[in-house]
A and B are shown apart, each in its own frame.
Chain A
Amino acid sequence: MVKVDEILPKYWYNIIPDLPKPLPPPRDPQEAEFSRIDLLRRILPKEVLRQQFTIERYIKIPEEVRDRYISIGRPTPLFRAKRLEEMLDTPARIYFKFEGATPTGSHKINTAIPQAYFAKDEGIEHLVTETGAGQWGTAVALAASMYNMKSTIFMVKVSYEQKPMRRSIMQLYGANVYASPTNFTEYGRKILEANPNHPGSLGIAMSEAIEYALKNEFRYLVGSVLDVVILHQSIIGQETIAQLDMIGEEADLVIGCVGGGSNFGGFSYPFIGHKRASKYIAVGSAEIPKFSKGEYRYDFPDSAGLLPLVKMITLGKDYVPPPIYAGGLRYHGVAPTLSLLMKEGIVEWREYNEKEIFEAAKLFMQAQGIVPAPESAHAIKAVIDEALAAKKMKEKKVIVFNLSGHGLLDLSNYESMMKRWAKNGQ
């Protein structure tokens, strides 16, 4: 029997020292009424902040964190998508890492656990964050309860009303979930005064969460984009490499979808840093065309403009994304390390539209049975394209991708996709 220790790593992997060029540092805006970098210092757990600015290649995972990783079912399984290969009639071998196997249904829990642990370790009893669709809030709610802490989640009001199941999960984990804008913060009260029926936004929810954490001396947790989040997610790629080694496979192609970049980074960076594959493909949504239309420049990582500016590929913090089916991909930017790797040509990109990913998701479900998160279905579409290309070239490529989450809580999205296309006669 394979032991957990042979797969679950003891260290997080940090790609920064292995980047081809220096990572441009975060900075404060020109006319800053306050320092965003200093704000980070006041809201993040100390160790999280230290890890954000570290250059060490390997950082030890505390035993207390590894224990929790094990108790949520890590290492997650690596499957061979044999039936998908058959349906595509491809000589390529396709493997996928299934992050949907965690209790919260996505990779988000991988960073929520250590962030909660480091907060607890410095004597904090209460965690705060914001959530849009709910994946991140769910992960924080569970992580808090795993360390006997309280949590408060500011959930964008429109999601709070439209995604009652996500809200219920967080509440069952013991979180206080509020529809943002709320009356608990000055910022929220101001918004409500102007418009009592304000539907809320991620920026507003985040501003409320930060204000609430600051005022009460709680700690605020960040779900994506920051280097420290990708650092924690590096367990995905490291586990995958260990699992491939066990079956004697070497990856040629590594594929993942990109919201902010944390699942893609966590999955692919260990491959990139250790040169364990030859091609990397980041997949986004054609409806949020940040790869094809984004600019590489300094921008706020959050629409509220409360975090320091970082250099990244961005559509602009004020970009209003269309209300697409894959909420996790609606983010306006690409994590700074991933932006740099894309600029340097190390990571390639693809963008697919709703119809394409819907077909891919359906095919994958019929082949493998798993309902993929609509975000992850973008990666699947790229995998299918690459497998068909391999068929044409008669190449026995090994394709490995990250199935970052399951889609069982996104069935209403799939339902509306089906209806939409039926109407269009497709």
Chain B
Amino acid sequence: MGNKLLVVYMTLGYPNVEQFMEFITESARYADVFELGIPPKYAKYDGPVIRKSYDRVKGIQVWNILGETRKKVDIPIIALTYLDDWISQLDLFLDNLKGIGIDGVLFPDLLIDYVDDFEKYDKIIKSKGIKDVIFTSPSVPDNLIQKASKITDIFLYYGIRPTTGIPIPVSTRQLISRVRNLVQSRLIVGFGLSNELDLREALSSRADGVAIGTIFIEEIDKNGIKSALEVVKKIRGILDEY
């Protein structure tokens, strides 16, 4: 494997538990990190494809599946979920993650809806032995990107579009080069990377890796798990060219 990180996103238990497990165990050969989406009450910053996937897995046994996944794969697992949903029982939530061996958590709403208190929550997360992966976007000012890059664990997530899975035209290269020099940690680019050109542009703009999700879900819906795994493999191949 090359030096670029592939962060594979999948909605927990999608499209069903059995196929989810198959996708995860097989794609672990190509991925560096898993990002597993726990169905939130309101997927505020997710696009229509991921939202629909959440609807389809509503009511799943979150902790069981997370636990099973942990047993099956060795690479780091990050739980993606909204702080909104857990804020009233944050300690318990983090203890549960720790208990089953989940490595980290990513709250996409941390720097958006909790920007005045994000350092406080970061301390709580870390004090529980859970890694805090921070989500940023182009509208985060320079000084805050710098701050976030200093405290984030594993990598800094940089979502270049306003939502996942919608190919809003953006200047990928400019957006990345603006933050590249501000970020000391590993910089992972995601949100709406939907074609090879975009992917290559992100990689050649000195991103340390990419986070991909929507295309896998779309491929599962269209052609099934096997075909989605082929896409994971293909993306790994592209990453390894850099």
Interface residue A18 (Cβ < 8 Å from any Cβ of B): yes
CB distance from A220 to the nearest CB of B (A): 16
What is the CA–CA distance of A22 and B44 in the complex, to the nearest angstrom?
16
Interface of B is mostly: loop
Interface residue B48 (Cβ < 8 Å from any Cβ of A): yes
Q: Which of B97-118 contact A (CB under 8 A)?
A: 111-113, 115
CB distance from B122 to the nearest CB of A (A): 16
Contact of A21 with B169 at beta-carbon distance under 8 Å, contacts A30-B42, A32-B51 already known: no
Interface residue A161 (Cβ < 8 Å from any Cβ of B): no
Interface residue A55 (Cβ < 8 Å from any Cβ of B): yes
Q: Which of A140-185 contact B (CB under 8 A)?
A: none
CB distance from A33 to the nearest CB of B (A): 10
Across-interface contacts of B138 in A (CB, < 8 A) = 16, 53-55
- Say whether A22 contacts B171, CB under 8 Å: no
Q: List 26 A-B contacts (CB under 8 A).
A: A17-B142, A20-B141, A21-B144, A22-B137, A22-B140, A24-B113, A25-B112, A27-B162, A28-B48, A28-B51, A35-B47, A35-B163, A35-B166, A37-B47, A38-B47, A38-B48, A41-B168, A49-B168, A50-B170, A50-B171, A53-B161, A53-B162, A54-B170, A54-B175, A55-B178, A56-B174
Q: Which residues of A contact B (CB under 8 A)?
A: 16-28, 30, 32, 34-35, 37-38, 40-41, 46-47, 49-50, 53-56, 308
Contact of A25 with B45 at beta-carbon distance under 8 Å, contacts A20-B141, A55-B175 already known: yes
CB distance from A149 to the nearest CB of B (A): 21
- Say whether A25 contacts B137, CB under 8 Å: yes
Across-interface contacts of A27 in B (CB, < 8 A) = 44-45, 162-163
- Say whether B141 contacts A21, CB under 8 Å: yes
Across-interface contacts of B168 in A (CB, < 8 A) = 37, 40-41, 49-50, 53
1/0 per position for B167-191, CB-CB distance to A under 8 A?
A: 1111100110010000000000000
Across-interface contacts of B137 in A (CB, < 8 A) = 22, 25
Across-interface contacts of A18 in B (CB, < 8 A) = 141
Tell me which of B111, B162, B166 contacts A22 (CB under 8 A): B111
Extra A-B contacts (14), CB below 8 Å, given A22-B115, A25-B45: A16-B138, A18-B141, A19-B141, A22-B112, A22-B139, A22-B141, A24-B112, A25-B139, A28-B163, A30-B42, A35-B47, A41-B167, A50-B171, A53-B138
CB distance from B191 to the nearest CB of A (A): 10
What is the CA–CA distance of A405 and B234 in the complex, to the nearest angstrom?
57
Across-interface contacts of B41 in A (CB, < 8 A) = 30
- Say whether B141 contacts A35, CB under 8 Å: no
Closest to A57 in B: B178
Contact of A26 with B141 at beta-carbon distance under 8 Å, contacts A21-B115, A49-B168 already known: no
- Say whether B48 contacts A41, CB under 8 Å: no
CB distance from A341 to the nearest CB of B (A): 13
What is the CA–CA distance of A38 and B171 in the complex, to the nearest angstrom?
18
Q: Which residues of B contact A (CB under 8 A)?
A: 41-42, 44-45, 47-48, 51, 111-113, 115, 137-142, 144, 161-163, 166-171, 174-175, 178
Tell me which of A34, A38, A49, A55 contacts B139 (CB under 8 A): A55
Taking each of B111, B115, B171, B174, which has the highest tally of chain A beta carbons within 10 Å of its own beta carbon?
B171
What is the CA–CA distance of A55 and B182 in the complex, to the nearest angstrom?
15
Across-interface contacts of A30 in B (CB, < 8 A) = 41-42, 44
What is the CA–CA distance of A49 and B162 in the complex, to the nearest angstrom?
11
Closest to A337 in B: B139
Tell me which of A32, A34, A37 contacts B162 (CB under 8 A): A37
Contact of A37 with B163 at beta-carbon distance under 8 Å, contacts A50-B171, A56-B171 already known: yes
Closest to A26 in B: B162
- Say whether A37 contacts B112, CB under 8 Å: no
Contact of A53 with B163 at beta-carbon distance under 8 Å, contacts A17-B142, A25-B112 already known: no
- Say whether B141 contacts A41, CB under 8 Å: no
Closest to A21 in B: B115
What is the CA–CA distance of A401 and B129 in the complex, to the nearest angstrom?
55
What is the CA–CA distance of A26 and B144 in the complex, to the nearest angstrom?
19
Across-interface contacts of B166 in A (CB, < 8 A) = 35, 37-38, 41
Closest to B111 in A: A22
CB distance from B45 to the nearest CB of A (A): 6
Closest to B164 in A: A37
Across-interface contacts of A26 in B (CB, < 8 A) = 162-163
Across-interface contacts of A55 in B (CB, < 8 A) = 138-139, 174-175, 178
What is the CA–CA distance of A55 and B140 in the complex, to the nearest angstrom?
9
- Say whether B112 contacts A35, CB under 8 Å: no
Closest to A24 in B: B112
Across-interface contacts of A17 in B (CB, < 8 A) = 141-142, 178
Across-interface contacts of B44 in A (CB, < 8 A) = 27, 30
Contact of A53 with B170 at beta-carbon distance under 8 Å, contacts A22-B115, A27-B44, A27-B163 already known: yes
What is the CA–CA distance of A24 and B161 in the complex, to the nearest angstrom?
13
Across-interface contacts of B47 in A (CB, < 8 A) = 28, 35, 37-38
What is the CA–CA distance of A405 and B103 in the complex, to the nearest angstrom?
58
Contact of A35 with B45 at beta-carbon distance under 8 Å, contacts A22-B137, A53-B168 already known: no
Across-interface contacts of B140 in A (CB, < 8 A) = 22
Across-interface contacts of A32 in B (CB, < 8 A) = 48, 51
What is the CA–CA distance of A32 and B54 in the complex, to the nearest angstrom?
13
CB distance from A42 to the nearest CB of B (A): 10
Across-interface contacts of A46 in B (CB, < 8 A) = 169
What is the CA–CA distance of A23 and B163 in the complex, to the nearest angstrom?
14
- Say whether B169 contacts A50, CB under 8 Å: yes
- Say whether A16 contacts B139, CB under 8 Å: yes
Closest to B142 in A: A17
- Say whether A25 contacts B174, CB under 8 Å: no
What is the CA–CA distance of A23 and B113 in the complex, to the nearest angstrom?
10
Taking each of B51, B162, B178, which has the highest tally of chain A beta carbons within 10 Å of its own beta carbon?
B162
What is the CA–CA distance of A283 and B169 in the complex, to the nearest angstrom?
35
Across-interface contacts of A41 in B (CB, < 8 A) = 166-168
- Say whether B178 contacts A49, CB under 8 Å: no
Tell me which of B42, B48, B115, B142 contacts A35 (CB under 8 A): B48
Taking each of A28, A54, A56, A308, which has the highest tally of chain B beta carbons within 10 Å of its own beta carbon?
A28
What is the CA–CA distance of A229 and B161 in the complex, to the nearest angstrom?
19
